[in-house]
Amino acid sequence: MRLQFDGRSRPQAGFPYLLHAPKDLTSQRLWPLVIYLHGLSVRGNNLDLIETYGLPQIMAEGGAFPAYVAAPQLPDGLFWPQRLEALSDWLDDLLAQYPIDPDRVTLTGVSLGGYGTWYWGGWQPERFAGLLPLCGGGNYLSALAIQKAGVPVWAVSGDIDPVVPLSEMTRMMGIVTHTKARQTIHEGADHDDTRVHTAPYADPDIWTWLLSQNRQNRG
């Protein structure tokens, strides 16, 4: 589905988004939600753009998972940390409209969206069951909040990325050191390598991890 969040409580803070529902909605009462944040090059007001890589590409090619998958689009010229309040309002809207389990909401993103994952996850760690940032980084306060809350994290990056250096991820993971934090470093992978932006979303191990996260099982 191609939908529009109107940002009623914050004028001019709306955005378009993609929403994929599980195929058999009658098989259970509540479902996990995976939120995906895209990268810099596909900002705007055209949802076709965000289907060119990452999780939306996998969904457009027929990917089917036992979860809701939602992907907002960032307006031109903006960055995800500038839209955290609007994103939080949007998540409230999704939880009110659809049979989503609030204890099983996970957040993921690529590049700029990887930064968005770290920043939103650090701003509201209580909202997320798990975080999967791909080739992204954040700041000390975000990492510290995630560490203190014990939010499970699986960070992925390439070791020769010239756009978002590996150090951006390892700096965060040097702070997020609890027992449910892990990282994957792909040898010989730069920023355009599918292993750090699209292939992870077709990996059964990553989906098992995403779908198994639950806020009630931390610690």
Task: List the chain pLDDT tens, one digit each, 219 residues.
Answer: 999 998 777 767 889 999 999 988 877 789 999 999 999 999 999 999 999 999 999 999 999 899 999 999 999 999 999 999 999 999 999 999 999 999 999 999 999 999 999 999 999 999 999 999 999 999 999 999 999 999 999 999 999 999 999 999 999 999 999 999 999 999 999 999 999 999 999 999 999 999 999 999 875
- Contact call for residues 132 and 113 (beta carbons, < 8 A): no
Please give the structure tokens belonging to residue 29: 């009462």
Q: What is the full DSSP assignment across 112-155?
A: HHHHHHHHHHHH-GGG-SEEEEES----HHHHHHHHHHT--EEE
Strand 153-158 and strand 130-134: the pairing is parallel
pLDDT at 9: 73
List strand residue ranges (DSSP E) for the chain, in order. 2-5, 15-20, 31-37, 68-72, 100-110, 130-134, 153-158, 181-186
Complete DSSP assignment for 95-107: HHHS-EEEEEEEE
Report the chain's C-alpha Rg in angstroms: 16
Task: Give the distance from CA 61 to its chain's centroid.
Answer: 19
Query: Do 67 and 34 touch, CB atoms closer than 8 A?
Result: yes
* Domains along the sequence of the chain with CATH: 2-217 (3.40.50.1820)
